[in-house]
Amino acid sequence: MKIWKTRGPRGARLLGAGTMALLVASSLFMGVSSASAIGTAKPRPLGDSTFLLAVGASVSVGVQPTLHHVHGFPTHRGYTNDLIAMQAAKGTRLQLVQTGCPGDSTQQVLYGGDHCYAPGDSQLLRDIAFLRAHQNQEGVVTIDLGFNDLHGCLFHQNVDMTCVTQRMNLLSTQLPQIITALKAAAGPQVKFVGINHYNPYLAAAVHDPTAQPFADASVAAIGLLNSTLATVYAQNAIPVADVAGLFHTYDTTPVDVAGLGTVPENVAQICALTWMCQSPPYGPNLHPNDQGYQVIANAIATVLPS
């Protein structure tokens, strides 16, 4: 069995059987979960026939803050890892392929210019090469893009809606280009899943009450992002994993939370599922925690073909 992984600008590399065994033994393996990790389940042997290709940015590679990387660092506890364990428990063994690069927007996926790939290279080129090389295999491609297209429009506790609108117009053009290229390279047994986004900015006022207007204004921005994604994916016949829904992004029902008092349900969920409400050095941080990544995996599993 071969396991594809990424290592910065060198992109995908193959790990031999000895290296794979060492990684599994040390619990640092990002690909197929071992049988012991999923209890008594015995996944059906599929060899190299089924893969999970995760396209995206930091969340697609499981970024979380650490003591040595307070802004976040890729981990082996992301939604792809959770999804593989979930599918293995159902009897389907997947091989994980991660090409995502923290910070990537659709512009960088298309044309490069990020810190992961050398000049002349890009995440999309790696994705196309992999899909072309595995056209006879079954697979799932998750597309987790859009948030970084928007992120630069929300800064200094201000939401620039003119910027948001412009970026979403660009997303409406560039994301279909990415999808078209991926579908053209993929074999007939490959399924695609789009992923929408939770709103980490809802919790901006937890540490700074003066940020409440910013948190409120972020609702329209994230709403436009998710509606844009819904339109693009629908036009390309791709189901959407409703992460926003499972994070209760639009639910403002008051709830009581220990340490926070009475807050809207969506704020409570962001505090429970991300690092946004944590104090330094771990927070505030936009990325999901272990529980948040599991929720994203659940959203993807809901729309996976049976």
* Sequence ranges of the domains in the chain: 3-145+165-196+220-244+291-303
70 in Cβ contact with 82 (< 8 Å) = no
pLDDT score at 49: 61
CATH number for the segment(s) 3-145+165-196+220-244+291-303: 3.40.50
CA 247, 249, 254, 258 dihedral sign is positive
Instruction: Flag whether pLDDT at 10 surpasses 60.
Output: no
* pLDDT tens readout for residues 115-168: 999 999 999 999 999 999 999 999 999 999 999 999 999 988 999 999 999 999
Q: How confident is the model at residue 26 (pLDDT cuts 50, 70, 90)?
A: very low
pLDDT tens, residue by residue, 72-89: 899 999 999 999 999 999
- How far is it, in rounded angstroms, from Cα 113 to Cα 45? 39
Q: What is the pLDDT of residues 265-276, one digit of tens each?
A: 999 999 999 999
Task: Summarize the confidence of residues 284-298 as an average pLDDT.
Answer: 97
How far is residue 190's CA from residue 194's CA, in Å, rounded to a whole number? 13
Q: Interhelix angle for 161-185 vs 123-133, to 10°? A: 20
Residue 152 CA to its chain's centroid (Å)? 18
